[in-house]
Amino acid sequence: MRYDQHVLPNGLTIVGEYNEDAQSVAIGFFTRTGSRDETPELSGVSHFLEHMMFKGSERRSAEEVDLEFDAMGARYNAFTSEENTVYYGAVLPEFQERLIDLLADMLRPSLRQDDFDTEKKVILEEIAMYKDRPQFTVYILARETYHHGHPLGNSVLGSTESITALQRDQMMDYFRRRYAPNNMVVTLTGKYDWNAAVAQIEQTCGGWAQGDSSRTVTEPDALPLERMQPDPKRDRVYLCAVAPAPSAQDDARYAAEVLAEVLGGGEGSRLYWALVHPGIADSADMSYSEQDGAGAFFVSATCDPERTTEVIDLLRSTLATAQNDGMSDDEIARARRKLASALVLRAETPMGRLVTVGFDYVYRRRIEPLAETVDKLLAVATDDVDALLRPKPFDKLTLVGYGPLAEAS
Amino acid sequence: MRYDQHVLPNGLTIVGEYNEDAQSVAIGFFTRTGSRDETPELSGVSHFLEHMMFKGSERRSAEEVDLEFDAMGARYNAFTSEENTVYYGAVLPEFQERLIDLLADMLRPSLRQDDFDTEKKVILEEIAMYKDRPQFTVYILARETYHHGHPLGNSVLGSTESITALQRDQMMDYFRRRYAPNNMVVTLTGKYDWNAAVAQIEQTCGGWAQGDSSRTVTEPDALPLERMQPDPKRDRVYLCAVAPAPSAQDDARYAAEVLAEVLGGGEGSRLYWALVHPGIADSADMSYSEQDGAGAFFVSATCDPERTTEVIDLLRSTLATAQNDGMSDDEIARARRKLASALVLRAETPMGRLVTVGFDYVYRRRIEPLAETVDKLLAVATDDVDALLRPKPFDKLTLVGYGPLAEAS
The DSSP letter of residue A10 is T
pLDDT in the model for residue A80: 98
**What burial letters (b/e) apply to B47-71, b meaning 16+ CB within 10 Å?**
bbbbbbbbbbbeebebeebbebbbb
pLDDT at position B119: 94
Query: What is the structure's pLDDT at A216?
Result: 87
Q: Do A268 and B75 touch (CB under 8 A)?
A: no
CB contacts, 8 Å: B342 with chain A: 73, 75
The DSSP code for A228 is: E
Both B164 and B307 in a single domain?
Answer: no
Which chain B residue has the Cα nearest residue A136?
B133
- Does the pLDDT value for residue B171 go beyond 50? yes
Residue B268's pLDDT is 85
What's the structural domain count of chain B? Answer: 2
Confidence check: pLDDT of B160 > 60: yes
Beta strands across the sheet bearing B295-303: B226-230, B398-403, B237-245, B295-303, B283-289
Domain boundary among A151, A171, A205: A205
Answer whether residue B408 shows pLDDT above 60. no
Specify the length of chain B in residues. Answer: 409
Residue A312 lies in a domain: yes
Q: How far apart are CA A317 and CA A270, in angstroms?
A: 11
Q: Do A268 and B134 touch (CB under 8 A)?
A: no
> Residue B55: pLDDT above 80?
yes
Nearest to B70 among A129, A236, A338 (CB): A338
CB < 8 Å to B278, chain A:
118, 121
Q: What is the pLDDT of residue B253?
A: 97
Q: Which of B176, B205, B234 is the last residue of a domain?
A: B205
Please check whether residues B325 and B193 belong to one and the same domain: no
pLDDT at A342: 87
Q: Are strands B75-80 and A2-7 parallel, antiparallel or unpaired?
A: unpaired
Q: What percent of chain B has pLDDT over 70?
A: 99
What confidence score (pLDDT) does residue B11 get? 96
Same structural domain for residues B122 and B79? yes
Q: Please report whether residue A212 resides in a domain.
A: no
The stretch B357-380 carries a mean pLDDT of 96
C-beta atoms of A348 and B348 within 8 A: yes
* Residues of chain B contacting A63 with CB distance shorter than 8 Å: 268, 273
pLDDT of residue B409: 43
Q: In chain A, which residues have their Cβ closer than 8 Å to the Cβ of B70?
A: 268, 334-335, 337-338
Contacts of B108 (CB under 8 A, 6+ apart): B57, B58, B208
Which residue of A73, A234, A273 is in closest CB contact with B341? A73
Average pLDDT over residues A149-175: 97
Q: Do A66 and B119 touch (CB under 8 A)?
A: no
Least confident range from A270-274, B48-52, B117-121, B338-342: namely: B338-342
Alpha-carbon distance of A216 to A36, in angstroms, equals 9
Residues 6+ apart with CB under 8 A from B72: A341, B89, B91, B92, B95, B98, B99, B102
pLDDT of residue A120: 96
Residue B281 sits in the same domain as residue B356: yes
Which whole number is the average pLDDT over B298-321? 97
Chain A nearest-CA distance from B50, in A, is 15
For residue A338, list chain B residues with Cβ-Cβ distance below 8 A: 70, 73
Q: Which domain holds residue A33?
A: 2-205
For residue A78, is it within any domain?
A: yes
Q: What is the pLDDT of residue B70?
A: 87
Residues A129 and A254 in one domain: no
Distance from CA of A291 to the nearest CA of B (A): 26
Q: Is residue B40 located within the same domain as residue B165?
A: yes
Give the nearest chain A residue to B123 (CA atoms): A279
Least confident of A271-275, A343-347, A400-404: A343-347
Residue A67 or residue B30, greater confidence: B30
Decide if B73 and A340 are in contact by the 8 Å CB cutoff. Answer: yes
**ipTM of this predicted structure:** 0.74
Lowest-confidence pick of A3-7, A111-115, A298-302, B210-214: B210-214
> Same domain, yes or no, for B88 and B233?
no
Shortest Cα distance from A282 to chain B (angstroms)?
Answer: 6
Looking at CA atoms only, how far is residue A207 from chain B in angstroms?
30
What number of C-beta contacts closer than 8 Å exist between A and B? 157
The residue ranges of DSSP E strands in A110-266, in sequence order, are: 184-190, 226-230, 237-245
Binning pLDDT at 50, 70 and 90, where does residue A406 land? confident
The answer to whether residue A218 sits within a structural domain is no
Residues of A in contact with B236 (CB under 8 A): 128-129, 132
Sign of CA dihedral B301, B307, B308, B310: negative
Taking only the tens place, the pLDDT of each residue in A247-283 is 999 999 999 999 999 999 988 899 999 999 898 999 9
Statement: residue A408 has pLDDT above 50 = no
**Closest chain B residue to the Cα of A26, Cα to Cα:** B345
The mean per-residue pLDDT over the stretch A21-38 comes to 95
Euclidean distance between CA atoms A241 and B105, whole angstroms: 37
Q: Taking CB atoms and an 8 Å limit, are A73 and B121 in contact across chains?
A: no
**Are A90 and A156 part of one and the same domain?**
yes
Contacts of B268 in chain A (CB under 8 A): 63, 66-67, 69-70
In a domain, B196, yes or no: yes
- The nearest CA of chain A is from the CA of B237 a distance in Å of 9
Q: Indicate the residue among B205, B236, B261 that finishes a domain.
A: B205
What mean pLDDT comes out for the span A355-374? 96
Q: Are residues B267 and B179 in the same domain?
A: no
- Judging contacts by C-beta atoms under 8 Å, the chain A residues touching residue B132 are 134, 234-236
CB atoms within 10 A of CB B98: 16
Query: Which pLDDT does position A118 carry in this prediction?
Result: 93
Cα B80 to its chain centre, rounded Å, is 8
B218 domain-assigned:
no
**Hey, are the CB atoms on B70 and A134 less than 8 Å from each other?**
no
**Nearest-CB residue to A128 (from B67, B128, B236):** B236
**Chain A contact set for B67 (CB, 8 A):** 268, 334
Indicate whether B70 and B134 sit together in one domain.
yes
Per-residue pLDDT for B407 more than 80?
Answer: no
pLDDT for residue A212? 84
* Domain identity same for A105 and A174: yes
At residue B358, what is the residue type?
Answer: G
For chain B, what is the total number of helices (H) and then of strands (E)? 15, 11
Tell me: do B119 and B250 sit in the same domain: no
* Contact between chains at A73 and B24 (C-beta distance less than 8 A): no
Q: Check B268 against A63: CB less than 8 A apart.
A: yes
**pLDDT tens figures, A206-223:** 999 999 888 989 999 999
pLDDT value of residue B198: 98
Whole-number Å distance between alpha carbons of A284 and A288 = 14
Spell out which residues of chain A touch residue B118, defining contact as CB-CB under 8 Å.
277-279
Interface test with A, best of B95, B233, B238, B345 (most A CBs within 10 A): B345
User: Does the structure show a pLDDT above 60 at A409?
Assistant: no
Residue A182 within a domain: yes
Does the distance separating the beta carbons of A282 and B128 come in below 8 Å?
yes
A16 found inside a domain:
yes
Q: Read off the pLDDT of residues B283-307 as tens digits, 9 standing for 90 and up.
A: 999 999 999 999 999 999 999 999 9
Mean pLDDT calculated for residue range B236-261: 97
Residue B287, number of CB atoms within 10 A of its CB: 17
**Could you tell me whether strands A398-403 and A226-230 are parallel, antiparallel, or unpaired per DSSP bridges?**
parallel
Of A70, A126, A338, the CB nearest to B337: A70
Q: Which chain B positions have a beta carbon within 8 Å of A304's beta carbon?
A: 125, 128
Task: Name the minimum distance, in Å, from the CA of B392 to any CA of chain A.
Answer: 28
DSSP A82: S
Q: Please compute the mean of the pLDDT values over residues A283-298 and round it to a whole number.
A: 96
CATH no. for residue B45? Answer: 3.30.830.10
